[in-house]
Every structure is written in C-alpha cells, then in structure tokens.
Amino acid sequence: MLKRLLVSAAGLAALTGSLLMGVSSAGAATVTGPAFTQDLAGYQVNGNGSTAYNEVRGTVQIPAGSTSNAAIYLQENAFSGGLTAELALVKGGNGCLANQWGLEAGVGSNAAPGPLTLVSLTTPVPDHSCINAGGSEYLEVHYSTLLRQVVFVAGPNEFGDTNVLNTVQLYGLHIFHSPAVGVHYTALPALPTVSTPQASFTRDGLTRLLSPAARRGGTNDRLNLASQSTLEVEATPSGAAPTVSDPVFLSTSAFGSGGSFSVTASS
C-alpha cells in the first residue's frame, strides 16, 4: 500500500501517506486500486522488491484555488516504507505567503507497514522562489549510488538552468523500489464546496537501475511513470472505501500523454 512523507504548510511538519512522479518512453502498464486515504491522491509505483529506481522527476503546475501541497519522492518500499526522499511545493511553506507555494525537501525513515505514515521533514530549500497560483516548477529527486547522496533539483523548466537545491549524505547503499507523485490536501476538515483542480503533473518520469546493487548503478533506463505498474490513490473523508455518505472528494485522472495526470478536489 501507499506511504508518504509530505511537508505541512506552516513549515516542515509530519504528515501522512504517499504519492509519485517521472519522464520518457513506453506504453502504459497495469494500474491497480484505487486505495483510499483521508487527504492524499496520486500514483505510486507498485514496487516488486526487485526493480529499483534512482530518480523521479516531472513538472507540476498549481492551479488557482488549490489547497494542496504537491510532491515527488523516492521511497524504499510502498508496503513497508523505509527511507523516503521528498521534494514538495508546500502551500505557505518556506517563508512564502499563505497563497503561494514554497519548496521544501527532506529525507526520513519509517518502517511501519500500511498505507499511511507520519514522517517529519526538516530541510527547507534555500535560494528558492515562491510560486504563485497558475505557476509551474520542474522537480527532481536523484539518488547517487556512487556518492550515496540524495540530490534535490528544481527550476523553471526541465531543460533550463535548473539548480541543485540541496544534497543529503546517506550511509550504506539504499535501493528505492516505490517512487511516487501526488498531492496532500491541506484544508481538512473543510471539504471542497466546488470542484477545484489541485495540481497537474506532466512529463512524469523515472530512472530505473538495471544493476541496482552496483556501486556505480550500472546501466539505467529513463522511463515514463505510466509505463510502470502503479497504485492509484484517492481520498474520502474517512479514508475508507467510498459510500454514498462518504464519497471520494480527492480524485486522480487517468494517465495522459507522457505520463501526465491531474488531481481534483470535488464537491
């Protein structure tokens, strides 16, 4: 099931769950689910314990009216959690105004099983620009198997002058099976009164390691997120399967071209 660490709007706070992101080729693979949470929606790779990834990337756009944080991350295992590295656009975060989104990042670990997990993030991103509604940002989380470092990258677009925002040194080799992309709805307990787009993700991609145990990572594949088997995640007020009195209020669209998708909060 899905796990996550997402930052809160006031700064770096512990939050629940999981989500996912990436860029490039191939046709769509199996999508399972949806699984349900109280405040998360997106896609996460159904890690099989053998396929490993060292990068997740994509461009996120924040529409007007959004009340969600949007994030990408690498996670060791979707079922048991483990080490997770996340880069997020946080509403009101990192010194931005309440109606702007700031970049925050972090690496945390939680081995508890299940679809929801609390993990604290403690790394504000320096030298960032606040994002206004309607704006977009390219995000990338990369893990170097040689240097044992997580590198957070962001910028106005994928092929422009993106900046290395921060690096986190790790110890020992970590293998990430379950990258993810998605949103955390921050307005609870208030539910949407009108249908409002929360975020859209384009050119969602991953880098798959073909030799995950090699110190230098061996060869790798750049893949479209939609080419991998993924778990779809949506939200209901209770976090349980939807009923007439407990309907889905945070929904994910099907994958489009290039692994794109969007998340909408519905009344």
- pLDDT value for 267: 83
Query: Which carries the bigger pLDDT value, residue 111 or residue 85?
Result: 85
158, part of any domain: yes
Cβ contacts of 141 within 8 Å, gap of 6 or more: 55, 56, 57, 72, 73, 74, 85, 86, 87, 150, 151, 152, 153
109, part of any domain: yes
**CATH code (residue 102):** 2.60.120
16, part of any domain: no
Query: Which carries the bigger pLDDT value, residue 159 or residue 124?
Result: 159
Query: Model confidence at 13, in pLDDT bands (50, 70, 90)?
Result: very low
64, part of any domain: yes
Angle at 54 between CA 149 and CA 60, to 5 degrees: 100
- pLDDT value for 249: 96
**Mean pLDDT of all residues belonging to the chain:** 79
Give pTM, 2 decimals: 0.84
5, part of any domain: no
Query: Model confidence at 14, in pLDDT bands (50, 70, 90)?
Result: very low
Tokens of 48: 């099989």
142, pLDDT greater than 60:
yes
CA distance 244 to 28: 31
17, part of any domain: no
Kindly report, residue by residue over 227-265, the tens digit of the pLDDT.
999 989 899 999 899 999 999 999 999 999 888 999 999
Kindly report, residue by residue over 15-74, the tens digit of the pLDDT.
334 443 333 334 457 898 898 888 889 998 887 677 889 999 999 999 999 999 999 988
For the chain, the domain total comes to 1
177, pLDDT greater than 70:
yes
Domain limits at 211? 31-265
DSSP state of 48: -
Pairing of the two strands 220-224 and 149-155: unpaired
2, part of any domain: no
Query: Which carries the bigger pLDDT value, residue 136 or residue 94?
Result: 136
Query: Model confidence at 124, in pLDDT bands (50, 70, 90)?
Result: low
Question: Please, are residues 2 and 233 in contact by the beta-carbon 8 Å criterion?
Answer: yes
108, pLDDT greater than 90:
no
15, part of any domain: no
215, pLDDT greater than 60:
no
